[in-house]
Structure 1
Amino acid sequence: MKSLSVFTKDLGAALRNPKVLIPMIAILFIPVMYSGFFLKAFWDPYGKMNELPVAVVNQDVGANYEGKQLQAGEDLVEELKVTDGFQWNFVSLEEAQAGMKDNTYYMAIVVPEDFSAKATTLLDDEPQPAKIIYEPNEGYNFLAGQIGGTAVAEIKNKVSAKVTEAYVESVFNQITEVSDGLGEAGDGASKIADGAGKLDDGALKLKENLLVLTDGTGKLQNGVEPLTQGVTDLNAGATALKTGTNTLASGLQQLSTAQTQLQDGVAQSAAGSKQLSDGLKQAVTGATQLQAGTKSAVDGTTKLQAGTQSLVDGSAKLEAGLTSSVDGSAKLEAGLQASAEGSTKVTEGAKAVAQGLQQLAQASPELAQNPAVQKLLAASAAVAQGSEQLQQSQEQLAQGATALHSGQEQLAQGATQLHSGSQQVAAGVTQLHDGAQQLNAGSTQLLTGQQKLAQGASALVTGGDKLNAGMQQFGAKLKEAAAGGSKLAEGGKALGDGTSKLLSGVGELGSGISAVADGSKKLADGAGELKDGMDDLKSGSTELATKLGDAAEKTGSVNKSDKMMEMFAQPVVVEDQVVNHVPNYGTGFAPYFLSLGLFVGALISTIVIPMRESAVIGASRWNRFISRTLTFTIMSFIQSMLAAVVVLYGLGLEVQSVPLFFLFTFLTSLVYTWVVQSIVTWMDQPGRFVVIVILIFQLTTSAGTFPLELIPSWMKFFNPLLPMTYTVSGLKSVISTGDFSAMWSDVGVLAIFGLGFLALTFAYFMTRSRDNEAGMKSEQAMTV
């Protein structure tokens, strides 16, 4: 009770002294002034944005987009005119620059002249974003620039939405065109599917025909082998024919030379026969000259016998030569007949090959266009034509050989008759010689013998003339035969060369047919792959037509509307679902400014109220402790209640619990008072400086404005060590979050701070003696 009496006396002394009472009353409103004025100033700064002057400059000249005039700058101006964001001032660029210079405007928004033009480049290869130039006058007011930046971002979103609506409208117009194009593409794809079906059928037929071609080329390849063998045999026969014709030509030349000699002998025989005839006539006319004529006759018959013997020998050689010639011509005729038959077969085979290749080319136009096949067709036609000409030549040769053989047989018969006649002539000459001898022996039979001899001589002259004429005709024919033999040899040589070339061509034909066979087989395989590909094309084109039809139907069902364009322009809308809603800046800053005001109030209280002494002379340490502590406690209570009432009912602060708000506000003020009381009690005037330093650290580390994570790392160390950290956190729980468990946890920490510093104050009073008398009187004077 005595402690309360000291407190009552101290309080009464303070109330009676206006110099103390008035400062104490003023100090009571320090927290109200801090928290109230500060919170009022920052309670809702965005609520008076319409009084913040901002310059707007529109230099946009517009642009043409998809046939429509786009005036994005004018749209922005119209949008700003109906927006309550700032005090918009639509001025020229010069006026805006002058206003920014003399601090008339806090910021300027400039729309460049190419704003609309750049907004139309969205679908270009190198699109350029439309720019809005934002010029904050940060030197005039930094926060105004920050607020303006947020507002400009919102403006940018609205303008972007308007531009996007223009894009969307153009895109929907193009979607309509795309729908029509997809419909036409679907019809085209259906036609492609029909064409693919026909092409598939054609590919199947091509594959079948190529299989037939492959089979035919196989048969043709098999048929070329006997053709090659026949041509080889023909070439061998032509070679033998060439050798035989050379031999025949040589024999005919020898025969022609022998015939010339025989003809000379016949001519001599004819001359002798004439002489004989003349001599016999003389013998007939003059018998007297018989003896002399017989002698001459003996000599003449001797010569005649020698000539006739030569005639007999020449006719024998002629007969032998003609016999050999007949045998050679017979062989030549047989060889040419066989060659003609072989040529006929070759001609038929070549024609069959040419016809087969022609049919093959007609069946496959693509194959016919192949240069190798065209060369093969031309070569087969040339071979067929050459074979036919060769056949005709060989038939003519065969006919000539037949005629030659027949003529040579006749010549052989004539030569046989000539030999027989020459033998008879030889026998007659012998008889003539014998007769001459007999004539020389007996002249009695001379007249009769000479008459007969004259008749025989006349016949001999006639036969000699005939023989001479026949030999001349035989010589001419023999020369013709020799010339024909030479030509026949040349023909045999040409035939050999032709058959060699024919054999080479048949070899090339076989190689070409093999290549055609391989190519046709590959074509058949390729046609099979083509058939598979055409099946895929047919099914794929059918599916394409169906999908294009579906796409045309779906795109055609898209209906353009204002709501749909707005949806495309702003497909995402932010829906605010605030956790622990804070309606304004004042509510958000209330924990911070309340803590600041109550701490400053506690600090200033130490200037007016004595920290150590009492108005009661001789008061004990305990009494002085109780008196000072109750005084500061009552001051903190009144300060906290005034601040809470003003904030709750003057500013309209909404809290989660009014009783807990009053309780926590008082606890905050009480803890600050006990902390400040302890420090100043112990340190006196330097203690107030320490308190101010602590206040500065608390303002920066309590996370009352910016989040704790945003302050420098070294400052975070002081956050859990200072009481304002827990007063701000607890007031947030009571005002905004409603997390009362966290609040009570903060109450526990604050209780530790308060009781701890109160214990330090108690220790000071209990351990320190009275100050000197002068100091005590000074404080008493202040109290009085």
Structure 2
Amino acid sequence: MKSLSVFFKDVGSAVRNPKVLIPVIAILFIPILYSGIYLAAYWDPYGHVDEMPVAVVNLDKGAELEGKSLHVGSDLVDELKKNADFKWDFVSASQAKEGMENDKYYMQITIPENFSSQATTLLDDKPEPADLIYEPNGNYSFVGAQIGKTAIKDLKAKVSAKVTESYAETLLDKFSEVSDGLAEAGDGAGDLNTGAGKLDDGAVKLKDNLAKLASGTLELQDGLSPLSDGVNALHTGATKLESGTSNLVSGLQQLQTAATSQLQSGADQLKDGSAKLETGLKSSVDGAGKLKAGLQSSEQGSAKLSEGLQSAVQGSGTLATGLQSAVDGSSKVADGAQSVADGLKQLAASNPELAASEDVQKLLAASSAVAEGSKQLHESEQKLAQGADQLHQGNQQLAAGASELHGGQEQLLTGANQLVDGQQQLLAGAGQLSQGGAKLSDGLKQFSGKLGEAASGGTLLADGAKQLGSGTTALQTGVGKLSGGVSSLTDGSKQLGDGAGKLADGLTELKDGSSELATKLNDAAQKTSEVKKTDDVVNMFAEPVNTSENTTENVSNYGTGLTPFFLSIGLFVGSLISTIVLKMRETSVPGATGWNRFVSRTLVFGFVSIIQSVIVASFMLYGLGLETHSVPLFYLFTIFTGLTFMFIVQALVTWLDLPGRYVVILLLVFQLAASAGTFPVELIPSWLQAFSPWLPMTHSIMGFKAVVSSGNFDVMWHQVGILAIYAGVSVLLTLAFFLWNGRRRKKEVEVAESGQVVTA
């Protein structure tokens, strides 16, 4: 009770003393002077930006987009005239520059002359965005420049929407063209599908035919082996033919040079001998009658004569078989003729009378001549032996004559009775022999010519054989290459067959894909044709996104957002000013104890803080129109915050006196910087962020935000608990001072009462 009486006495003393009462009343309104007036001045500054003058300069010359005139600059000016975001002043470039220099405008907006033309470059390869130039006058007002920067973003969005609207109209016009093009593309894809089907069928046939080709190339490869063997054999035969024809040409040339002359010579001798034989036979015709009697009387002679004639027959027969056996035949003729001559000689020797006959002598001479001619014929036929193979035709004629001669000799052998007839026949045969010799001579001449032709033909044959050999060599090489090519063809046909299979599969996929493409293109054409150009669609293209603000967490105005910060500052400054007006340690009651002084001073400062809090809270609620989620809790938290600040300031100033006020000012400065009242705490330097959780104003601001803005009262009560700790510690520190100071004073009084001098 005594402590309360000290309190009431202190209050009564202050009320009775105007010098004390007036300052006390003044400090009660310190929070309003500091925070309320500032907030009243800037309670809703963004609500008056329409009074800020802004210069607008339009230099745009316009442009054309898809045949349509586009004047984005003029459209922007018209749009600005419709809104009151700022106090728009549409001036020239020189006027705007002068106004900015004279701080008449807070910002200048310039629409360049190519603004519309740049806005039409969206569909170009290198589009150029339109530039809207703005120049904030930061030297005149930094905050005004920041407000202008914020507003220019909204202006940019409006201009972009206007330009996009022009683009949308152009693009939607293109949609119909795209739809028609897609329909045509769908038809083309249908044709492609049809063609792909035909290609697919052709690919299947190609695959089958390539399989046949591969099989045929295998058979061809198998058939090339016999061909290669036959070509090798042909080459071997051609080589032999070339060698044989060379030998044949050589032999023909030798035959032409040697045998022809010898045969011709023998034929000439044969002709001469046959002529002499004919003459002799004519001579013997006369004596043939006389010989008839002698032949009849001499069997031995006629037998020998028959044997000789037989030999002549055999010789003439041998001559008929061919000129190759003409030598033997002529030898036999010669032997026969000699036998005749010998027989006649023997006959003459056996019969002197006969021998003395002239006819017999002539016959002997003739037979000798025949023997001589036969000998010459034998020699000629020996010469003809080398060309016997080529004298076949002439030997036939000679054989005929020899046959006739043989017949005559046979007739001679039949008996002496037919000797005359035989001689006549022999004469006839000799004539034929002469004719045959002439024919033989002519034939030999023809034969010689033919041998020349044969030699020339043999030369040509040799050249042809050589060419045949070269050709077969080339044929061998070609067959080898053909074999290799056929192998490559076989491999290639297999690979081609595999590729044809893949091609068939790919064409099947192409067919399916082209069908799907046609369907998709037709669907796309149908869907694009559904896009219509209406005002709503154009507006949707221009502004596809609208912003819808959720005001649940919204702060109504600038003043409401800054109320927690400035209200906390006002209460803290009010507490500090209170320590200047009110006594911190003394009371109006002399000799009061430390406890009494603590109770009195604490109640005085607490009462002043409560009145300050109620006044400033009422001014905020009813003077400025602050809206809170709970008025009672707002009063309660304001009072609790004021008491906490007052107790902190009381403790510091009570202990430290004037230096304590300096410490309080330092604490205020730190709280202004680090309590996140204006900017988020994350934006301040990191070393200040470390102080923020330990500062009481940080927690008072958070509590006021919970009551005023968010309505999260749990946060508020949590901050009340933290502030209560600060208040409790401060009260205990103040109590400790007064208790300590009271004991010290008591000791001083006791010393004074004991007679000691105490220096006050």
Alignment TM class, shorter chain as reference: 0.7 to 0.9
Are residue 478 (structure 1) and residue 447 (structure 2) matched?
yes
Is the 1:276–1:457 contact (alpha carbons within 8 Å) kept by the matching residues of 2? no
Match of 2:512 among 517, 520, 539: 539
Query: Are 2:277 and 1:261 aligned?
Result: no
Match of 1:414 in 2: 397
Which residue does 1:493 correspond to in 2?
Answer: 462
- 1:280-322 Cα offsets, whole Å, 9 max, x none, are 99x9xxxxxx999999998897566333311134347648954
The alignment status of 1:745 with 2:718, answered yes or no, reads yes
- C-alpha deviations, 1:577-634, integer Å up to 9, x for none? 2453321111111111111111111221222222233334454444443333333222
CA distance in 2, matches of 1:629, 1:153: 54
| Equivalent residue, structure 2, for 1:682 | 655
The SS at the match of 2:104 is coil
Counterpart of 1:121 in structure 2: which amino acid? T
The aligned amino acid for 1:532 is D
Q: Which residue of 2 aligns with 1:627?
A: 600
SS in 1 for 2:49: helix
2:248 is the counterpart of 1:246: yes
Q: CA deviation at 1:63?
A: 2.6
State the secondary structure of the residue aligned to 2:124: coil
Name the aligned partner's letter for residue 625 of structure 1.
Answer: F
Alpha-carbon contact 1:312-1:422 (below 8 Å) kept:
no
The question of whether the paired residues in 2 share the 8 Å contact of 1:165 and 1:565 is answered with yes
Amino acid at match of 1:505: L
Against the structure 1 CA distance between its residues 262 and 513, is the aligned structure 2 distance closer, same or farther, given a 3 Å change threshold?
farther
Contact 2:565-2:677 at 8 Å conserved across structures: yes
What CA distance in whole angstroms lies between the structure 2 residues aligned with 1:219 and 1:700? 102
The one-letter amino acid paired with 1:11 is V
Name stretches of at least 5 consecutive residues in structure 2 with no aligned partner: 288-355, 414-418, 750-760
AA in 2 matched with 1:466: Q
Shift of 1:187: 0.6
CA deviation vs aligned residue, 1:338-389 (integer Å, no higher than 9, x gap): xxxxxxxxxxxxxxxxxxxxxxxxxxxxxxxxxxxxxxxxxxxxxxxxxxxx
- Which segment drifts farther, 548-557 or 461-470? 461-470
* Among candidates 600, 617, 620, match of residue 644 of structure 1: 617
1:405-458: CA deviation from partner (whole Å, max 9, x where unpaired): xxx3x4332132345578899999x99xxxxxxxxxxxxxxxxx9x99999998
How many Å apart are 1:650 and its aligned residue? 0.9
Q: What is the distance in 2 between the residues matched to 1:454 and 1:747?
A: 186
Deviation at 1:661, TM superposition (A): 1.2
In the alignment, is the contact (CA less than 8 A) between 1:53 and 1:88 conserved in 2?
yes
Deviation at 1:185, TM superposition (A): 0.9
Cα pair 1:55 1:89 within 8 Å, conserved: yes
C-alpha spacing 1:199/1:294, structure 2 compared with 1 (3 Å): same
Give the CA deviation at 1:547: 1.6
The 5 Å alignment of 1:11-30 reads 11-30=11-30
Q: CA deviation at 1:643?
A: 0.6
Decide which of 708, 713, 722 is 1:735's aligned counterpart.
708
Match in the other structure for 1:196: 196
> For residue 326 of structure 2, what is the aligned residue in structure 1?
none
2:734 maps to 761
Q: Where does 1:96-175 land on structure 2 (aligned, <5 Å)?
A: 96-175=96-175
Aligned-pair CA distance for 1:757 = 2.1
The one-letter code sitting in structure 2 at the alignment partner of 1:196 is A
Amino acid at match of 2:581: V
Question: Once the two structures are superposed, what CA deviation does each residue of 1:465-518 show, in whole Å capped at 9, x if it has no partner?
Answer: 524421222213322442353255346435534654258537735536666555
**Pair 545,668 (structure 1): closer, same or farther in 2 beyond 3 Å:** same
The answer on 1:57 being equivalent to 2:27 is no
Cα gap change, 1:524 to 1:738, in 2 (>3 Å): closer
Residues 545-579 of structure 1: CA distance to partner in whole angstroms, max 9, x if unpaired? 12211221122222233323333333333332245
List alignment gaps of at least 5 residues for structure 1: 284-289, 327-407, 432-448, 774-784
| Shift, 1:246, TM fit | 1.5
* C-alpha RMSD of the superposition: 4.1
Instruction: Name the counterpart of 1:508.
Output: 478
Partner of 2:341: none
Q: Tell me what 2:177 maps to.
A: 177
Q: Equivalents in 1 of 2:236, 2:608: separation in Å?
A: 148
**Structure 1 residues 733 and 117: CA distance shift in structure 2, 3 A:** same
Q: For the residues of structure 2 that align with 1:673 and 1:636, how far apart are their CA atoms?
A: 6
CA distance in 2, matches of 1:492, 1:650: 142
Report SS of the residue matched to 2:554.
coil
1:29 Cα deviation (Å)? 1.3
Question: Retained in 1: the 8 A contact 2:204–2:504?
Answer: yes
SS at match of 2:135: strand
Distance 1:667 1:460, change over 3 A: closer
Is the 1:175–1:555 Cα contact (8 Å) retained in structure 2? yes
What is the aligned counterpart of 2:553 among 533, 556, 580? 580
**Structure-2 residue corresponding to 1:371:** none
Equivalenced residues, count: 666
Distance 1:679 1:455 in 2: 195
State how 1:273-284 maps to structure 2 within 5 Å: none
SS in 1 for 2:139: coil
Amino acid at match of 1:471: L
Contact 1:273 1:460 in 2 (8 A): no
| Matched-pair contact (CA < 8 Å) for 2:106–2:136 | yes
Question: Counterparts of 1:233 and 1:3 in 2: how far apart (Å)?
Answer: 150
> Contact 1:99–1:105 (CA<8 Å) still a contact in 2?
yes
Inter-partner Cα distance in structure 1 for 2:31 and 2:149: 34
Task: Please identify, of 98-107 and 748-757, the stretch whose mean Cα deviation from structure 2 is larger.
Answer: 748-757
Structure 1 residues 734 and 481 mapped into 2: Cα distance closer, same or farther (>3 Å)?
A: same
Structure 2 residue 90 is the aligned partner of structure 1 residue 90: yes
| Deviation sequence 1:207-250 (CA, Å, 0-9, x none) | 33444444555555566666666666666666777738918736
Which of 531, 541, 546 matches 1:558?
531
Q: Is the 8 A contact 1:315 1:418 kept in 2?
A: no
Deviation at 1:104, TM superposition (A): 0.9
- d(CA) in 2 for partners of 1:2, 1:460: 208
Verify the 8 A CA contact 1:213 1:520 in the aligned structure 2: yes
Tell me the CA shift for residue 755 of structure 1: 3.0
SS at match of 1:55: strand
Output the CA distance in 2 between the equivalents of 1:223 and 1:755.
119
Partners of 1:312 and 1:423 within 8 A in 2: no
- Match for 2:588: what amino acid? A
For the 8 Å contact 1:269–1:464, the answer to whether it is kept is no
Indicate the SS of the match to 1:110.
strand
Q: Aligned partners of 2:9 and 2:491: how far apart in 1?
A: 133
Paired residues of 1:315 and 1:422 also in contact (CA < 8 A): no
- CA contact 2:651–2:730 (8 Å) conserved in 1: yes
Q: 1:759 to 1:213 in 2, by over 3 A?
A: closer
Task: Report the CA distance between 1:668 and its aligned residue.
Answer: 1.6
Amino acid at match of 1:610: K
In the TM superposition, 1:338-737 aligns within 5 A as 408=392, 410-419=393-402, 463=432, 466-490=435-459, 492-493=461-462, 496-497=465-466, 499-500=468-469, 501=471, 504-505=474-475, 508=478, 511=483, 519-737=492-710
1:425–1:318 CA distance, 2 compared to 1 (3 A): farther
Q: Distance in 2 between matches of 1:261 and 1:569?
A: 130
CA distance in 1, matches of 2:88, 2:357: 183
**Residues 239 and 145 from structure 1, CA distance in 2 versus in 1: closer, same or farther, beyond 3 angstroms?**
closer
Aligned AA for 2:115? Answer: F
Higher RCO (Cα < 8 Å, 6 or more apart):
1
Secondary structure class of the residue paired with 1:614: coil
Q: Distance in 2 between matches of 1:616 and 1:227?
A: 149
When structure 1 is superposed on structure 2, of 738-747 and 458-467 the one drifting more is: 458-467
Task: Check 1:626–1:507 CA distance in 2 against 1; reply closer, same or farther (3 A cut).
Answer: closer
* Contact 1:589–1:704 under 8 Å retained in 2: yes
**Partners of 2:586 and 2:221 in 1: CA distance:** 139
Do the aligned partners of residues 305 and 127 (structure 1) sit closer, same or farther apart at CA in structure 2, a change above 3 Å counting? same
Distance change in 2, residues 1:489/1:140 (3 Å): same
Counterpart CA distance in 1 for 2:568 and 2:224 is 118
